[in-house]
Amino acid sequence: MKNKTCTKCNNSYPAMLKFFYADNQKKDKLRPECKNCYNKINKKYRQSKQGIKTHLKANNKYKKSEKGQKIEKKYRRTEKFRIKNRKAVKKHHQKKRLEMCNLTTKQGEQIYLSQNGCCAICKQSVSYDKIHFDHNHKTNKFRGLLCNKCNLGIGLFNDNSNFLIEAINYLRKNK
């Protein structure tokens, strides 16, 4: 095995990809500096003003590309993204739910205040970021603001008032 000397630290290593990065423009197809030296040089550059500027420019260009947008869209669906951006994701979902009910953020806040920050069914106080915008799933017509339990309850009964009446009768009969 041939040895190669790093041009920065002057250490000699076997001429292998384990110790040197590939460079197809070089005769031996390896960079002149060892991986350790190259990483130090690269780290120093990335931390410089020019390196940061270059990185941001390349990153913005990539994000605008079709491939970059596709990967970003895929990443936004991951659990890792949701955990890292919990508040932003919650705000985005609430905005989407408002749009589905044809309401603006301001209208949603006004309805919340008109219900005194309480669930329309059980009347328990619920914070605005945890309130559910209940709507008819066929027409998307807004019905009211509900807490999580009441929203789940209605959903589990498939929004069917007959099932809810039967459930009430069942509970009254079996007190």
Cα–Cα dist 130/145, whole Å: 10
CA distance 42 to 134: 54
Distance CA 134, CA 26 (A): 66
Most distant CA pair in the chain, distance: 90
pLDDT in tens, 132-148: 889 888 888 889 999 99
Say what the pTM is.
Answer: 0.52
67, 73 Cβ separation under 8 angstroms: no
pLDDT in tens, 46-68: 899 888 888 888 888 888 889 88
For residues 123 and 100, the answer to whether their CB atoms sit within 8 Å is no
Q: What is the CA radius of gyration of the chain?
A: 30
> Average pLDDT of the chain?
89
Instruction: Tell me how many degrees the CA angle 73-78-81 measures, rounded to the nearest 5.
Output: 85
Domain ranges of the chain: 20-65, 84-173
Summarised one tens digit per residue, pLDDT across range 122-134 is 999 999 888 888 9
User: Where does 84-173 sit in CATH, by number?
Assistant: 3.40.1800.10
